[in-house]
Amino acid sequence: MERICLILLLLYKLSIVKAQFNGFNCDANFHSRFPAERDISVYCGVQTITLKINFCPVLFSGYTDTDLALNGRHGDAHCRGFINNNTFPTVVLFSISLSTLEACGNSLVVATAHGPNAYGNLSLVQIGSISGYIDTPDPPTVISYLPGLLYKFSCSYPLEYLVNNTQLASSAAAISVKDSNGTFVSTLNLLLYNDSTYIQNLAIPMAGLTLKTRVFAAVKATNLDRRWNVLMDYCYTTPSGNPNDQLRYDLFFGCDKDPQTTVFENGKSQMGRFSFEVFRFVKHKNQKMSTVFLHCVTKLCQADDCPMLMPICGKRKKRDVTESTDSHAASGNAVLTAGPIITRSGKSPQPPNSNGPLYRMNSVTSALVSGIIILAVMSICFFIFSLTLLKGKRPPPMPLSGAHNPAFS
C-alpha cells in the first residue's frame, strides 16, 4: 500500500512539472531545479549589453517571465525581459542600451589609476564597469514559500585602445573593437584629409607624396554614447605595418611633440584632430619610395573627466627613431592595419656624364637602329645600280632618211 501511495505521489508531482513546462522548450529531467549561476549569460556588446536567463528553472520555482525585472524595477515594463521560445531551453532576454544605462537603475563606475599606457609612457588608465541585477518581487506577506531569485551581472570596458591606420591610400579604415569583456566603441576610425577643413579625404598619387607635404589626421568615434569623448594619448609612426615595430618615430605624447606636428583638438569631443609633415625613414635610403605607418593610442573619457586625463607634462624616455626595449600592448588594445603612406625619396635625377653620350640605348634598341641604317644604305645602293643598268641598255639613235627638197637649197 505504501508503494502505491509513493508511486501516485511521484506521478502527481510529475504531472505538475509537465503542467509547469507546458508550451516551453524545457526538459523535466534537467530543469526541475532551482536557478544556478550557470543560468545567466552576459554578452557585453558594442552598443548594448544582452542578458539571457534560462527560463525553465524560473518556471520550476513558481515564477513567470513578468516577475523578472532589472534592479527591482518591476513596475516599469521597459525594465522587464521578453520570452524567446525558439531556443532550447527557453530563455528570457534583457537588452540594455549603453546610451540609456541609468534608465533601469544600472550603475556605471569608472576607475582611474596612474600607470603606464600601452607603450610604457606614464598616464592615467581608466576602466569602465557597468553592473546591475535581475530579481523577482518580494511578496506582500510576512513569509513566503517561494525562493527569491537574484541574478547579478557586470561588464568591464577598457577605455584605452591602440588604433592604427596604415591604409592611407584609401584614407580610412575602421574596426569593430571587442575584447573578452566589452567595449564602448562600435567603430574607431583614423582618417586622413587633404587640408584643415577635414572634408576631402587624402589622395595619395602612385608616385607617392612629396616630402614635407602636410597631412591632416583625425581619430573619430562613431555610434558612441555622447557622454564619452576621444582622447589621443600617444601617436607615432613606424616603417612597417607592425605597431610593435621597435623602430618608431613619435609624433606626440602629452607635451612632447614633433616640431612639425600640430594638435588642433584633443579630449573635447568625439573627434581628435592633428597634422604632420610626411617624411621618409632613413632605412629606406636605397628605395625610390618610403612607407610610413600611423598608429594612435586612444582613450575614451567622460566629458567632465577629460581635463583631468590630459597627458601629464614631464620627463619621459626619449624614443624618437630609437630601438625600444619593450612594446607590449595593454589589454583592450585593438589593432587596425590596412596599408602604407607612400612618400617619394626626394632624390633629383642623375645628371648626364659630360664625357659620354647624352642618351644611352640598350642593346636591343641599338641593334634595331643599326639594322635600319644598313637596310637604308643597301636600298640606296640597289637603286643607283638599277639606274646604271637601265642607262647602259638604251638603243643608239637612228639615222634620218628621205629625199632632199630643193626648195630649201
Q: Which pLDDT does position 233 carry in this prediction?
A: 85
Residue-wise pLDDT for 29-53, tens only, equals 888 888 888 888 998 887 788 999 9
Q: Which pLDDT does position 256 carry in this prediction?
A: 85
* Stretch 129-141: mean pLDDT: 88
Least confident residue range of 131-135, 297-301, 400-404: 400-404
At the second CATH level, the architecture of 185-311+330-344 is Sandwich (2.60)
* Stretch 273-287: mean pLDDT: 87
User: Is pLDDT of 17 > 80?
Assistant: no
Q: Residue 182 — pLDDT band, cuts 50, 70, 90?
A: low
* Stretch 182-208: mean pLDDT: 80
Q: Which pLDDT does position 183 carry in this prediction?
A: 58
* Stretch 129-155: mean pLDDT: 87
Q: Residue 333 — pLDDT band, cuts 50, 70, 90?
A: very low
Per residue, what are the HEC states of the chain?
CHHHHHHHHHHHHHHHHHHHHCCCCCCHHHHCCCCCHHHEEEEECCCEEEEEEEHHHHHHCCCCHHHCEECCCCCCHHHECEEECCCCCCEEEEEEEHHHHHHHCCEEEEEEEEEECCCCCEEEEEEEEEEEEEECCCCCCCCCCCCCCEEEEEEEEECEEEEEECCCCCCCCEECCCCCCCCCCCEEEEEEECCCCCCCECCCCCCCECCCCEEEEEEEEECCCCCEEEEEEEEEEECCCCCCCCEEEEEEECCEECCCCEEEECCCCCEEEEEEECCCCHHHCCCCEEEEEEEEEEEEEECCCHHHHCCCCCCCCCCCCEECCCCCCCCCCCCCCCCCEEEECCCCCCCCCCCCCCCCCCHHHHHHHHHHHHHHHHHHHHHHHHHHHHHHCCCCCCCCCCCCCHHHC
User: Is pLDDT of 20 > 90?
Assistant: no
Q: What is the share, in percent, of the chain residues with pLDDT greater than 70?
A: 67
Q: What is the share, in percent, of the chain residues with pLDDT greater than 90?
A: 18
* Stretch 175-187: mean pLDDT: 45
Q: Residue 329 — pLDDT band, cuts 50, 70, 90?
A: very low
User: 33-139+147-158 has which fold?
Assistant: Immunoglobulin-like (2.60.40)
* Stretch 270-281: mean pLDDT: 91
* Stretch 354-372: mean pLDDT: 56
Residue-wise pLDDT for 60-107, tens only, equals 888 999 999 999 999 999 999 999 999 989 999 999 988 787 889 998
Residue-wise pLDDT for 205-260, tens only, equals 888 888 899 999 998 888 777 788 888 888 898 888 888 888 889 999 877 889 99
* Stretch 125-134: mean pLDDT: 84
* Stretch 264-283: mean pLDDT: 90
Q: Which pLDDT does position 366 carry in this prediction?
A: 65
Domain boundaries, the chain: 33-139+147-158, 185-311+330-344
Q: Which pLDDT does position 175 carry in this prediction?
A: 33
Q: Which pLDDT does position 178 carry in this prediction?
A: 31
Residue 373, sorted as left (phi over 0), alpha (psi -120 to 50) or beta, turns out to be: alpha
User: Is pLDDT of 160 > 80?
Assistant: no
Q: Which pLDDT does position 155 carry in this prediction?
A: 87
* Stretch 297-325: mean pLDDT: 64
* Stretch 130-146: mean pLDDT: 87
* Stretch 352-373: mean pLDDT: 56
Q: Residue 171 — pLDDT band, cuts 50, 70, 90?
A: very low
> What is the residue-averaged pLDDT of the chain?
74
33-139+147-158 against 185-311+330-344: fold identical: yes
Separation between Cα atoms, residue 400 and residue 409, nearest integer Å: 18
User: Is pLDDT of 330 > 90?
Assistant: no
